Structures are given as C-alpha cells and as structure tokens.
Amino acid sequence: MNIFKFFLNIFYPKRCMFCGKLIDNNEEYYCLKCYYKLPFVEEKRCLICGREIFGESKLCAHCKEHKRYIDANYPVFVYKGLIKEALLKYKFKGKMWYFKPFSYFLYEEIKDKVSNIDCIVYPPINKKTFYKRGYNQSELIAKELSQKLNIKMLNKCILKTRDNEKQSLMSGKMRYKNVKGVFKIDEKYKNELKGKRVLFIDDILTTGATADECAKMLKKAGALSVVSSTLCIAS
C-alpha cells in the first residue's frame, strides 16, 4: 500500500456500500456478509430475457406474450433486497460512484458471453431526469464496462425523439405504448452499426419494453444482433 492510500484509509475508511460497516482493505466495495445476501439470478432462466422461471417452460410469460427484438438478456440480480436498495440510492440519492461495483458485477456476468460483440450502447434518459440527477446511470456503467471488456462504446448512439412518462409509473402493457417511437439512432452511427453485433447495457429490465424498442431501432439501422445485459431484472 502506498503512503497516499495509507492516509486515505485512516481519514476515509472504506465502508460496505450495502450495510455501511467498515470493511477490510482487501474488500473493495462490500463486506462478505452482504455479498452472500445478494439475490443473484438462478441458473434456470428464460432463454430470451433471463428472468427466473419455474417448471418446464423455457420462456417466461413476458417473452411468450410479446415479440422480442433483443436476442438475449443477461441479468445479474433479481430486483429486490440489498441490490434494489443500492440501485435506488445510485439513481435517486446521489451515489454516483456505485457505477464502479455495478459495472464489476456486470463484467463478471458477461465477460465469457460477449467475445463476439463489436460495440456497446445504452439507453438515453429524459432531459429533466438528467438535469436533476446529473448523470445517466446506464451510461456510466456502459462506459466502465467498455474499458473492462475493451469494446468500443458508441456514445449517445440512441437518442430520444421526445421525453416520455417514466416507465416506473406504468403498468406492463402501458410500458410498451409509452416507449413506442420514442427512440432513434444518431445518423452518424448508422454506417458503423451495419452488420455489427451490439451489446445493450441498462440498469434494470422489467417488461423489456425499453430494451426491445432500442433493439428494434438498432436492427432497423443495420445491426446484425442485439444482446442486452442488465444489473437487475424484475421478478
């Protein structure tokens, strides 16, 4: 440990991002006690969206009901418990630095699944939300992942045609209507997307409406495939 880190740990000791307790120097963001409480998605998942499924079916109810434009989604956690609380703090309580551990979790999930990916993209957020929050939560994670995976990120590739209502305020069916026609692809990236395999990064997949609408626009622009990876997925 260098002298700077030594004094940094004295005056600003590291604490677990979940419980706030002091953690050892070899523990980067969280304590082991909290880590073992995290709701990782089980192995039996929907073949498309990655949602936990039970019984013999290979698809969840959402993917049976709706046409999917994403080719697959790789989530890390079920949206509940400690990770839900942390994600809400990241988005609404100014915990911007959480993008570091979140991108680490995503990296561990997808590092062996995206060897053929050409570029990374992320969804835009409403202007009002951006000015209030100060950052796009998915952009920060995508940028960090881009560096970890050594895959180019197409910054602001997906744009909004208008600000729409928050998806979190909508019922399942209304979410699809709420995002219809809301996204477009920046003209400067259209040639770059042709024939490319794209990785779409977002913080959470609920119904998949946002990911699907973005994937639809990406494929319309010439993308060969679009796989998604989200920190969380709704149960």
Tell me the average pLDDT across 211-218.
Answer: 97
Give the model's pLDDT for residue 7.
45
pLDDT tens string 73-92: 999 999 999 999 999 999 99
Rounded CA gap, 188 and 224, in Å? 18
Q: 183: closest CA among 156, 161, 205, 198?
A: 161
Instruction: Kindly indicate the confidence band of residue 165, based on its pLDDT and cuts at 50, 70 and 90.
Output: confident
pLDDT tens string 25-61: 777 899 999 999 999 999 899 999 999 998 888 999 8
Give the model's pLDDT for residue 3.
56
pLDDT tens string 175-193: 888 889 999 999 999 999 9
Task: Show Cβ contacts of residue 113 under 8 Å, excluding neighbours closer than 6 positions.
Answer: 74, 227
CB atoms within 10 A of CB 70: 24
Structural domains in the chain plus CATH codes:
1-37 (no CATH), 41-233 (3.40.50.2020)
Rounded CA gap, 99 and 201, in Å? 12
pLDDT tens string 108-137: 999 999 989 999 999 999 999 999 999 999
CB atoms within 10 A of CB 48: 20
Q: 178: closest CA among 186, 169, 187?
A: 169
Q: 205: closest CA among 228, 226, 184?
A: 228
Q: Are 53 and 59 spatial neighbours (Cβ–Cβ below 8 Å)?
A: yes
